[in-house]
Amino acid sequence: MTKVSGEPLNEAQQQVIEKLAAKIVKWRATIPAIFTLESMKPLSFVGSQFLIAIGPFAQILFNPDEYDQFALAMENRDNVEYFLRRIESLDAKALDEERAMRKRAKELRKARREERRQRKLAAKGESTTGPAAKNE
């Protein structure tokens, strides 16, 4: 399970990193993940060896093939940087989508408020020009 340093990610490793980055963003754990990965980047090889060492236990919880691919990918510091960039990219996209959704919700609330205000004014206008108002 050794990998030559500087070797590019293979397709399986890219898929695993993409999947894990998406889960991190979905769980809203972007900041802790980035903090952890940035602080561990200088020890990426040692960390990947630790992942390999605990592999038999971790593979009980995770897909064994994906786990092995991730552990191999984390040997190279460039791959850790790629993982960080993917997390940041997906987080920025999710943040933009959330902002757009909030803006749409705000516009809907504003339109509903205006609609209620118009109905209230129309109802008020009817009550002042209704049959009771004519008798006065």
| Environment class of 107 (CB within 10 Å of its CB; exposed 0-12, middle 13-18, buried 19+) | exposed
Domain-wise residue ranges, the chain: 11-129
Integer CA distances (angstroms), 102 to 21, 85, 113, 133, in order: 24, 25, 16, 44
Residue 5 scores a pLDDT above 60: no
What's residue 79's pLDDT?
95
Mean pLDDT of 92-106: 97
Whether the per-residue pLDDT at 1 is higher than 50: the answer is: no
Least-confidence region, from 16-20, 72-76, 86-90: 72-76
Query: Contacts for 33-40 with beta carbons within 8 Å, 24 or more apart?
Result: 33/87, 34/84, 34/87, 34/88, 37/80, 37/83, 37/84, 37/87, 38/84, 40/80
Please tell me the distance from the alpha carbon of residue 107 to that of residue 105, in angstroms, as a whole number: 5
Each residue's pLDDT tens digit, 106-121: 999 999 999 999 999 9
d(CA 80, CA 103): 35
Q: What's the whole-number mean pLDDT along residues 95-111?
A: 97
Given the structure tokens 């940041």, which residue do they identify? Answer: 88
Is the CB of residue 98 less than 8 Å from the CB of residue 45? no
Mean pLDDT of 53-71: 94
pLDDT value, residue 135 = 52
pLDDT at 125: 83
Q: What is the pTM of this model?
A: 0.78
The pLDDT value recorded for residue 130 is 54
